[in-house]
Structure 1
Amino acid sequence: MTISGVRVEPGSFRDPANRVFHRDGDVLRGLNEQAASDYRALAGTAFFRALLAAGKVCGTEQVGSLPDLPWATVLRHERIPFVSHPYEWSFGMLRDAARLHLEVLAEAVAAGFTLKDGSAYNVQWRGVEPVFIDVGSFAPAREGEPWAGYRQFCQTLLYPLLLQAHLGVDFQPWLRARVDGIGAEQLRPLFRGLRRLRPGVLTHLHLHGAMQRRHAAATTTDVREQLRAAGYSRDLALATVRGLTRLVDRLDRPPPDSHWEDYQRTCGYSPEDRAAKEHFVADALTSGPRPALVLDLGANDGRYARLAARHADQVVAVEQDPAVVDRLYRRLRADRDRRILPLVMDLADPSPGGGWRGAERAPFAARAGADVVLALALAHHLAIGRNVPLPEVVDCLVGLVRPGGRIVVEFVHPRDPMAGRLLANKPAGLFPDYRPEVFARLLAQRCRIERRLDLPTGTRTLYLGVVGG
């Protein structure tokens, strides 16, 4: 689409009946004639209105047809604060996304509708509250037709949960590797022998795979006719969804212990250091306009993300360790906090672009553009721990701030005990430029330093910088 002022969402091309695009700050969805008819039927149902009122489906209103756009009708959606990808979620987040997807599907099936898709990408987050965003996926159900999104649900939601719940294997690298999720053929070799008997494995992995092979040559029409002849009904479809829901509820993997979980106690801050640091960060957060989005990079247990949430609309707390993120998520979920979104990400290997042409799923840097970036006790892990040149560390951190935004960065001096532990595992003399004066000069070249503070112990320095706009 080349219409002036319209930016098409690269990840919305798979269903030709509707397309998401952006215009004048609005998130819009164009519907063709059939999709528009389906939406009118959907909008008149009590179940859909209830899902909207409960916030389980993203806010949606019909704005009618627009004369310069080639769609029968156009919907306007609420804007999600920060778009994330399933491989950036913790186990608890993925499980709650699966629960929401099945809840929405169950309500739809009971009312004579279905979902055309089953993708984890159809769920996003308001803080730690999941929200279903693919309104274009609803369609009237046809008698005898199985849920078209079942395979997609298995590959992007159920199979990753089985992998981690039953085997203790983090699912994030598997989901990041393929935009379509984990194929049954990839997972089956890991669930042989007695592992076949673990909850959900025999039915949804082995028997599902056997049925796919059996009907590989059959068309959708053939399968629909066979199911109708066998008595497949809405009640059976609803029973299947409820069975999947019970299975997902049973799957759990409490996060294991992690040394990062106790970082606040073991990182070497004195009480005076901690108080000075918290005062500096709070001051930085309130020294300009209220931030719409704060990135807390290397968030650990979320101490500073919570501080930032007092002064910002939304906070994205990024942490490398999935166990730490899952513990934080569960605590935030219990508190019903809708302003902090925890994500799993290695900042030395952040989420790249993925899918078709590498643009279907946007890279982390393209989704950032924060009003404030907190990079506290992070630079030494990248520069020493991961051998990233110091100028590139500074470039990366400043590059995540929108023009006019602020960055709070902490430099850990080489003589600090935490930096010393990292340096002890490296050849002597490998980082001659890792010095406070070099860091200060690099940062000053990329932003205007408004304030700096040496913490009382003298081995850490905090900077507040403003990025030129």
Structure 2
Amino acid sequence: MAVPDAGLRVEPGSFRDPGNRVFHRRDEVLRGLDERSARDWRALAASDFFRHLIAAGKVCGTEELVPTPVDVGWAAVLRHERIPFVSHPYEWSFGMLRDAALLHLEVLRSALAAGFTTKDGSAYNLQWRGASPVFIDVGSFEPARDGEPWAGYRQFCQTLLYPLLLQAHLGLDFQPWLRARIDGIEPDQMRRLFGGARRLRAGVPTHVHLHGAMQARNAHASTSDVRAQLRAAGYSRELALATVRGLEKLVRRLDHRPGESHWSDYQRTCAYSVPDRQAKESFVDRAVAATAPGLALDLGANDGRYARIAARHADYVVAVEQEPAVLDALYRALRNEGERRILPLVMDLADPSPGGGWRGVERAAFADRAQADVVLALAVVHHLAIGRNVPLAGVLDQLAGLTAPGGSLVVEFVHPEDPMARRLLANKPGGLFPDYRREAFESLLAAHGRTVRRVELPAGTRTLYQVVVHG
């Protein structure tokens, strides 16, 4: 059902279920329901299991607007809590994807035991409050029907289980696979990867090869035919629950612990002295405190040292790190701390998440989601400008573009004579970066805003700047 023009903005990623649609009105996140979905919602809202999941923070807070607003054109309208920052599964680490999968299964298991199910099983049904996953697709719940399988099984495999199997069993980072296809990894692709002795690895015989064979066998059968076959075979809610418990057991067993890398212990191996680090921490703390941001970005977060400093003063911090193993270690630490205001994300700043899905807007690009009041770009510029050959002007354009007008960009310039810069330059042809100089950097920086503080670190080869970006 279309939403009439009443100051409402339809969520581009919410169109696949015609029975309900997410849209925005100012700062509110709303969901319109048709007649059938409204009946399902009211039954769900009256159930104990759903109230318990919301109270535990496992499902996003939701309430029905009564009376139903007459200007939106739906039988019922729900209002959801706003998630602080929307992320995509290909921006998560292995531990994040596994915990998201386990929450999805826990929600489904609770629903089945109470006579409900979910229509789908997508990783996109989950978001994050810091390092805690939360199920957001309230419109996915519906009453369970005896003899019918879980409709979301294939989506769960393709967007959650298969990526976990890929990394746990083969050591391949799953993020590029999920970024390439919004619907995830197809069973046929997985079967090709898991041949020979790999066929016997945990979860593969049932959820890859048997699943793929069943799909091929029923390729020309209708959904109603498949359901009828399952009912005739005695498929029941108890069997569905047993399947979910088996999936939970499998997912808990899956793990991936990569070996050490240069970046996994960067704080120890980098060129900072103790006085440099103390001066840098003091500068960051003062800059963020002066801004009192709603949202802060820490670009190149590594072990989260500066993200934690930012979290002293910001409502919410998104910590971006290119190396999946480093980001996963940060996530596990934040999860163990119970941190709900720092969200860690895997992303290459030289290749940030683009828009994806239908018409390129179903999943918003990182730049369209990340307008922050404070952006920390510490020990980042030289890696992009020298390590990745990005023009210095382009690096600053990107950093300023992620900063809200009037917000603060806290950026570090590593001088050409710094040991880290010299190491990067040693791998490049001589004379390739004539503009990589402090004078050129400061001139480019001035085009984007007003420098309110500048500090040279004690070692004399790095300078920190706080710049208020032009409105």
TM band (smaller chain):
over 0.9
2:32 aligned partner: 30
What amino acid does structure 2 have at the position aligned with 1:189? R
Give the residue type in structure 1 aligned to 2:103: L
Question: Is the CA contact 1:85–1:121 (under 8 Å) kept in the aligned structure 2?
Answer: yes
Counterpart-to-counterpart distance in 1, 2:69 and 2:469: 38
Runs of 4+ in 1 over 2 A off after TM superposition: none
Counterpart of 1:386?
Answer: 388
Supply the distance in 2 between the matched residues of 1:284 and 1:172 (Cα, whole angstroms): 33
Distance 2:211 2:267 in 1: 46
Corresponding position of 1:196? 199
Please give the per-residue CA displacement for 1:129-160, whole angstroms capped at 9, x wherever unaligned: 00000000000111111100000000000000
Secondary structure of 1:341's counterpart equals strand
Aligned equivalents of 2:240, 2:276: Cα separation in 1: 59
Alignment of 1:22-171 (within 5 A): 22-64=24-66, 65-171=68-174
Superposition pairs for residues 57-456 of structure 1, below 5 Å? 57-64=59-66, 65-288=68-291, 290-456=292-458
TM-score by length of 2: 0.98
Instruction: Indicate if the aligned counterparts of 2:296 and 2:316 stay in contact, CA closer than 8 A.
Output: yes
TM-score, normalising length: structure 1 = 0.99
Separation (CA, whole Å) in 1 of partners of 2:151 and 2:261: 40
Check conservation: 1:316, 1:340, Cα contact below 8 A. yes
Q: Partners of 2:330 and 2:284 in 1: how far apart?
A: 20
Counterparts of 1:265 and 1:241 in 2: how far apart (Å)? 43
User: What's the CA shift string for 1:33-80, capped at 9, x where partnerless?
Assistant: 000000000000000000000000001010032111110010000000
Distance (Å, rounded) in 1 between the aligned partners of 2:10 and 2:258: 38
What is the CA RMSD across the aligned residues, in angstroms?
0.8
Q: Deviations over 1:72-119 (max 9, x none)?
A: 010000000110000000000000000000000000011111000100
Shift of 1:32: 0.4
- Alignment identity in percent? 74
Equivalent pairs, count: 468
Give the C-alpha shift of residue 410 in structure 1. Answer: 0.1
Query: Is the contact made by 2:21 and 2:32 (CA closer than 8 Å) also made in structure 1?
Result: yes
* Alpha-carbon distance between aligned partners in 2 of 1:332 and 1:413, rounded to the nearest angstrom: 33
Q: Distance in 2 between matches of 1:67 and 1:329?
A: 44
In the TM superposition, residue 256 of structure 1 has moved relative to its aligned partner by 2.5
Conserved? CA contact 2:4–2:72, under 8 Å? no
CA distance in 1, matches of 2:448, 2:311: 26
- Cα shift at 1:190: 1.1
| TM superposition shift of 1:467 | 1.4
Q: Is the 8 A contact 1:255 1:326 kept in 2?
A: no
Matched residues in 2 for 1:14 and 1:253: separation? 33
Secondary structure of residue in 1 paired with 2:30: strand
After TM superposition, give the deviation of residue 245 of structure 1 in Å.
0.5
Structure 1 residues 157-192: Cα deviation after superposition (integer angstroms, max 9, x where no partner): 000000000000000001100000011111111101
CA distance in 2: counterparts of 1:391 and 1:33, whole angstroms = 54
Alignment partner, residue 13 of structure 2: 11
Local SS of the residue matching 2:290? coil
Contact 2:6 2:71 in 1 (8 A): no
Say if 1:2 and 1:428 are closer, same or farther in 2 by CA, change over 3 A: farther
Q: CA deviation at 1:2?
A: 5.4
* CA distance, structure 1, for counterparts of residue 158 and residue 326 of structure 2: 25
* Aligned partner letter, 1:423: L
State the alpha-carbon separation in 2 of the partners of residues 41 and 20 from structure 1: 20
Please report how far the alpha carbon of residue 203 of structure 1 lies from its aligned counterpart in structure 2 after TM superposition. 0.1
Q: 1:324 deviation in Å?
A: 0.1
Instruction: Give the SS at the match of 2:85.
Output: coil
The gaps in structure 1 that reach 5 residues or longer are none
| 3-state SS in 1 of match to 2:447 | helix
Q: CA deviation at 1:4?
A: 3.5
Distance 1:349 1:337 in 2: 28
Amino acid in structure 1 at the alignment position of 2:283? F
Equivalents in 1 of 2:84, 2:71: separation in Å? Answer: 28
CA contact (8 A) 1:255 1:327 kept: no
Aligned-pair distance for 1:455? 0.7
